[in-house]
Chains A and B, each alone.
Chain A
Amino acid sequence: KAGVTQTPRYLIKTRGQQVTLSCSPISGHRSVSWYQQTPGQGLQFLFEYFSETQRNKGNFPGRFSGRQFSNSRSEMNVSTLELGDSALYLCASRDGGGGEQYFGPGTRLTVT
């Protein structure tokens, strides 16, 4: 099976802009999670979707949003970008139950 894919891999945006990141899970996986990784805060959970429903959301401002489509692909959107949003954004999928998550290579977002 193909692994988790994320697009784009690298992105440079300006403060105030918005950005959309995409994630395609492993075939058959219905759960998709998003994490933000920064040197200062480490790996922080953003949200988790299962069959198009958000089941949990991390402690992030409303500028961070996501959705999942019927084919399990997921997108996350960050509006009104701030410098502090510069990070590696990681997507992970699993089959829905507890257990290991399979991570994509990440999208490196730089906000200038």
Chain B
Amino acid sequence: AQRVTQPEKLLSVFKGAPVELKCNYSYSGSPELFWYVQYSRQRLQLLLRHISRESIKGFTADLNKGETSFHLKKPFAQEEDSAMYYCALKNGANNLFFGTGTRLTVIP
């Protein structure tokens, strides 16, 4: 079985401050990890995936297999980053399982 844990329901940071949204997973196989984002009044959408190793909107995430983590980071938060963020894991059957989400608020 697989499990995705996002320990923080709510996270507030000031504009310009660094932000880190935590994600831990448990899975016996080789995981593929994703971050999805839902901005206010918009639908849930993909932000980034670990295999791409890319930076999207200034966000990066590194898969740490030793710590079974996939934390999302951004060095300088912007007001437009305020949203709901979901970590997700794709298992060997190609099904995507989500965490409970973290609501990020960036304070001006």
The answer to whether A and B interact is no
* Chain B residues packing against A (C-beta within 8 Å): none
* Chain A residues packing against B (C-beta within 8 Å): none
